Structure 1
């Protein structure tokens, strides 16, 4: 997993014990998750593990707010910036990486501190994923060429004709999910709904986990998002996106849909002013933060909500209740 490690040495507090197999930290973007993860990893001799679907990509460091090399030098960090942007990195692939990493960390006696804002990744780890067969590359390419010539409403209407159950579950404007449902149907001859009832366990299923959700005030998040986007622009986000644009990747790839990327590409293409592109990036990020809160409220049970200011005290109090045993992660 080259390029995503922050070192192997143990840090202050390495002898401290906690009663959990892993600590999970989620929350909306710009809520202070990374700082909390570093503080806990330093306190308990842990390793910070990325659980953000955009921060896995090598192409985008600045605009995804990925930790800098200096920040990753404070404590070991894993699964950051190790995937090429041309890869459609899935939740299943991520869960497989974490399964192997947990075995490695258990052997080292290191506490995994998983941090990020991607709810599906956390769900894959704690509850497992539906066993959907992979779509062959040739089927995907043929389907996407066909879909590229059709509006999203047409695709949803096509899905309604072929798979009314999935069509009823999806918003007609949700192009990516509608395409996914059609793609699976074409590749397998079965509705995506038929796969969603069965799950294989995730690598953290059945484990004793501390699960924290940072819940700052909404207006504070909005302010932080806007300020952070301005800071990212000052740090070279536009240059980073310009390099990505030159790769001419499929616009449906995740890396091409990272918040801020579509708007800045539109600016580089002459379709938006820079002010309009920045405003779009901020608005998209604020909308995403709202969706993150909604996801965790409705999809993720058993998480402890805490304000960013109180989260460290909440975590330390929870962790002091017993001993964490190295090697307790599943083999």
Structure 2
């Protein structure tokens, strides 16, 4: 059996009891996760909870493939599209929201079905987070102004002087992580590395969890990504990205780096043809799907790897109450 072997809670929905506290469904993008989540929530009277870091943003529904009303199938969905794109929605903020929701569902006896492709979200829910205090917005804004116009190499050199241990852990080309390390140092006076051994337990720690990783063939994922990107373009993805571009947000915000967004903004700015932007969006998404598979293979023990076409049968067999 995979998953945590904690309490033996039973949820009842649609006349059936299950022997897990929650179901977690992960997998690369375009692997059929949302459809499986809806099918299970329908069967057991559950609630689908988003665990995708891009689908939290209100600004982007089409380009992030957020489930449509029809795809939701009259099943309650939560933590989708509730965050203003101007905010940097951190893992800690997501965990706080999810913890409150999970506590509420527990009082109702509803089965949580968490679904998404963001490994850090699942890891934080099950294993906890490093106890890094939030960086105040004023400190963040001051640092962003300080970093503007400076190369990533220059920022890494600054980190190497002020925090050599953390600098040694980061690639000199990884601007986001270098800036994160410098922001934490500015806000707390402590190295980011000093917090990483201090961990707060996640809201699902110690619970009995059914953890499923949908693992389609690589070529099938590529084909699905390409077809889905074309479908998103036909459904208005360019208009959505154009509206986001008009907000003139900080390009380092997560919403500005959603797969497909940078290429389409480059097209709107006259830097790429539309065909080139689409090719870039598909390539970025395929590369991300590959990273997702690698992440779960190396970081998330205890997950059941299942072919998408076998996912529902496997989940139903696991969820059935056994005396």
Distance 1:15 1:192 in 2: 49
Match of 1:66 in 2: 66
Match of 2:145 in 1: 145
Q: Contact 2:44 / 2:111 at 8 angstroms: preserved in 1?
A: yes
Distance 2:145 2:306 in 1: 46
Match of 1:308 in 2: 308
Distance 2:303 2:290 in 1: 17
Asked whether 1:35 is paired with 2:61, we answer: no
Segments of 4+ moved more than 6 angstroms: none
CA RMSD of aligned residues (A): 1.3
Q: Contact 2:226 / 2:282 at 8 angstroms: preserved in 1?
A: yes
Q: Contact 2:55 / 2:80 at 8 angstroms: preserved in 1?
A: yes
TM-score when normalising by structure 1: 0.92
Match of 1:290 in 2: 290
1:276-324 CA distance string (max 9 Å, x none): 111111111111111111111111111111110111111111111448x
Match of 1:225 in 2: 225
Match of 2:17 in 1: 17
Measured after TM superposition, the shift of residue 70 of structure 1 is 2.2
TM-score when normalising by structure 2: 0.94
Match of 1:175 in 2: 175
1:32-63 CA distance string (max 9 Å, x none): 10011011111111110000011011110000
SS of residue matched to 1:62: coil
Measured after TM superposition, the shift of residue 164 of structure 1 is 2.1
Count of aligned pairs between the two proteins: 312
Q: Contact 1:131 / 1:200 at 8 angstroms: preserved in 2?
A: yes
SS of residue matched to 2:144: helix
Distance 2:91 2:71 in 1: 26
Which runs of 5 or more structure 2 residues have no equivalent in the other structure? 1-11
Q: Contact 1:24 / 1:113 at 8 angstroms: preserved in 2?
A: yes
Q: Contact 1:17 / 1:322 at 8 angstroms: preserved in 2?
A: no
Q: Contact 2:29 / 2:289 at 8 angstroms: preserved in 1?
A: yes
Distance 1:297 1:153 in 2: 31
Q: Contact 1:260 / 1:280 at 8 angstroms: preserved in 2?
A: yes
Measured after TM superposition, the shift of residue 108 of structure 1 is 1.9
Match of 1:299 in 2: 299
Match of 1:127 in 2: 127
Q: Contact 1:57 / 1:84 at 8 angstroms: preserved in 2?
A: yes
1:217-262 CA distance string (max 9 Å, x none): 1111111111100110000000000111111111111111110011
Match of 1:238 in 2: 238
1:179-232 CA distance string (max 9 Å, x none): 101111121111101001111111101000000011111111111111100110
Which residues of 2 match residues 158-237 of structure 1 at below 5 A? 158-237=158-237
